[in-house]
A and B are shown apart, each in its own frame.
Chain A
Amino acid sequence: AQSVTQPDIHITVSEGASLELRCNYSYGATPYLFWYVQSPGQGLQLLLKYFSGDTLVQGIKGFEAEFKRSQSSFNLRKPSVHWSDAAEYFCAVGVKTSYDKVIFGPGTSLSVIP
């Protein structure tokens, strides 16, 4: 069955430090991959997405993610974290069933220390 795992429930980093959020998926075919961010009390906002082509994808707010097929991973990175990046981050995979479906991971909560 298709699934998405985010091994880290909670991560704390210092402002200015680099960040990597892990995401692994289980899907037999070529996936469509997404990262969303949810600020407290808000809905989800798309950070970036991967469909095909270059495996390094650039997104908004200085985020990037790299698709590694051999590892079934799509990790999110940012070279220097800002306090405003504190939020919940969701990885998602798009799969083809009888229709196109998006499955979300459980999320990683990011805290930023000043």
Chain B
Amino acid sequence: NAGVMQNPRHLVRRRGQEARLRCSPMKGHSHVYWYRQLPEEGLKFMVYLQKENIIDESGMPKERFSAEFPKEGPSILRIQQVVRGDSAAYFCASSPPTAGGLRETQYFGPGTRLLVL
């Protein structure tokens, strides 16, 4: 069973360009979480999605950032008009769709390191 996949692993963008980060959850998982890790800082929650639904986006910046998890295909975190402050590692995690709630562990992908020049 393949783990959580993220691509690209490294992404370089110039200021003003768009960044698209992809996350394929583990097989059978329908819950996806995105986190951002700034240099020397911990993980900050960004958004929680289920298939075709955004459940909680309280950690997402109000502008330029969006996320989706379509019925088919990976979850996408999109950053428009990137700025240098967006440089960070972005991690995706997934968990299965059971009633266990917090008993279900989040499984993390290897992350995408975004560098904005």
Interface set of A (CB-CB < 8 Å, partner B) = 32, 34, 36, 42-46, 49, 51, 90, 94-96, 98-107
Contact = CB atoms under 8 A, between A and B. Distances in A.
Kindly state the interface size class of chain B when it binds its partner: 20 to 34
A104 B101 contact: no
Contacts, number: 56
Closest 10 CB pairs of A and B: A94-B102, A106-B42, A43-B108, A100-B101, A44-B108, A32-B102, A104-B43, A100-B102, A107-B42, A43-B110
Contact of A49 (B6, B33, B105): B105
A43 B4 contact: yes
Contacts of B35: 104
B91 to A, nearest CB: 6
A95 to B, nearest CB: 8
B43 A90 contact: yes
Given A43-B109, A43-B111, A44-B91, A51 B103 contact: yes
B38 to A, nearest CB: 11
Contact of B42 (A90, A95, A98, A101): A90
A43 B43 CA distance: 11
B102 A102 contact: yes
Given A101-B56, A107-B42, A46 B105 contact: yes
B45 interface: yes
Contact of B45 (A42, A43, A101): A101
A46 to B, nearest CB: 5
A102 B93 CA distance: 11
Contacts of B43: 44, 90, 104, 107
